Amino acid sequence: MREILLVLHTGRPDNRRTALHVITELGRLGVRTRVLADEWAVLGEEPALPDDLAPLPVPVGPDCAGGAEAVLVLGGDGTLLRAADLARPAGVPLLGVNLGHVGFLAEAEEDTLDEALRALAAGDYSVEERTTLEVVVRSNGHALGRAWALNEAVVEKTTRGRILEVVLEVDGRPVSSFGCDGVLCSTPTGSTAYAFSAGGPLIWPQVHALLVVPSNAHALFARPMVIAPDSVVAIEVSAGGQSAVLDCDGRRTVSVPSGARVELSRAAEPVRMVRLAAQPFADRLVRKFDLPVRGWRGAQQLRRDQIRGTGDARAREDTGVPPPPSGSAGAPPAAAPTVDGNGAAPTRRTGGTGTPEGADDPARPGRPGG
């Protein structure tokens, strides 16, 4: 039987009632629900479900999502980041339903939940891959710890009253040294989270890149940098300064002693996300951040162009006149080829067709909540 793993924020009564509704609806659609055993212990306090709709409790572990079609997440982005720990090892896609605040990673809202469940049961969705970071802490040639991140990895100070002295390295070459509160390395997914709060730019989903953002740096040149996706970033902690801590997505931490270095690169294993419908990233920004767009006239112009184009096509059909050829009256002239300084036409370059990266909700500041 087809199965979906349900992960939820159990701390709110409304979330628990929504979870029971999800279990019931998926059962009626022919999909059995797995529920984490500790979460089912809390859900079991709610009204009982019929035996034929009862979920399958599973222990928390790297194999709990294995064989499932998807991991359905009810909560905010913090809950989705927790679910990513379970879905990533199994390569199972995540579908987030926002029951929190901003919920940048969520694909659906509570008022579209039933529609999302029907699409999930019917297989009417696409899957995109999100870049993740692989992080290693080294000291004297030995690996002290490893971690991964979907949003960002942060090397930050542990003592409030002192600054952290670091040297920033990219692709084996030193870039700058400075004192700071920390340094963030973010994926495009995390560019709307902690990195955004620290002054970093938003990175559009189609852009393949990594983002490095110093936090409260005491330096003239310590600006955010967008670097190649295959670059390797290293953050060296001064041997004569204080120690630091590596924090990945606010969930996984590794101590960084004085004199150690943190190496960050794109991981081979992505996080897979369910997409129910194509949506411009600009629309998601406007909706999630409640951005003002009053005064925009683009839609009116687009509508006029569509009407004009439809009218021209109908007129040609009525008269039997074919559309004008390129360069003739009534049609825009063909653009002249661009040439370089030697008078030769340059080689045409086409962009890649990589998968989008997405974003999510700041709440730390910038640390996802849920």
What domains sit in the chain, N to C, each tagged with a CATH number?
3-131+272-278 (3.40.50.10330), 133-269 (2.60.200.30)
pLDDT at site 206: 80
Give the CA distances from residue 9 to residues 18, 46, 73, 100, 370, in Å, rounded to whole numbers and listed in that order.
11, 15, 8, 9, 7
Contact between residue 179 and residue 154 where contact means Cβ atoms under 8 Å apart: no
pLDDT at site 176: 95
DSSP of 80-91: HHHHHHHHGGGT
For residue 77, indicate whether it is catalytic: yes
**How, if at all, do strands 71-75 and 94-98 pair?**
parallel
Give the CA distances from residue 210 to residues 178, 236, 245, 261, 357, in Å, rounded to whole numbers and listed in that order.
20, 18, 21, 18, 11
3-state secondary structure of 140: coil
- Give Cβ neighbours of residue 45 (< 8 Å, ≥ 6 apart): none
Distance of CA 199 to the CA centre of its chain: 18
Beta bridge partners of 176: 168
Torsion, Cα of 198, 204, 209, 210 (10° steps): 20
Beta bridge partners of 130: 271
Half-sphere exposure of 198 (CA within 13 A, CB side): 30
3-state secondary structure of 366: coil
Residue-level pLDDT, tens digit, the chain, 370 residues: 899 999 999 989 999 999 999 999 999 999 999 999 999 999 876 667 777 788 999 999 989 999 999 999 999 999 999 999 999 999 999 999 999 888 889 999 999 999 999 999 999 999 999 999 999 999 999 999 999 999 999 999 999 889 999 999 999 999 999 999 999 999 999 999 999 999 999 998 789 999 999 999 999 888 999 999 999 999 999 999 999 999 999 999 999 999 999 999 999 999 999 999 888 889 989 988 899 999 898 877 777 777 777 655 555 555 555 555 554 444 444 444 444 444 344 443 333 333 444 444 444 444 554 4
Task: Pick the catalytic residue from 14, 52, 77, 290.
Answer: 77
pLDDT at site 314: 55
Give the CA distances from residue 248 to residues 3, 81, 153, in Å, rounded to whole numbers and listed in that order.
30, 11, 4
Query: Tokens 């330096």 correspond to what residue?
Result: 219
DSSP assigned state of 241: S
**How, if at all, do strands 173-180 and 164-170 pair?**
antiparallel
Task: Put the strands of the sheet holding 210-215 in their side by side order.
Answer: 225-227, 210-215, 182-186, 152-157, 244-248, 252-256
Q: Which residues of 15-25 are buried (b: 16+ CB within 10 A; e: fewer)?
A: bbebbbebbeb
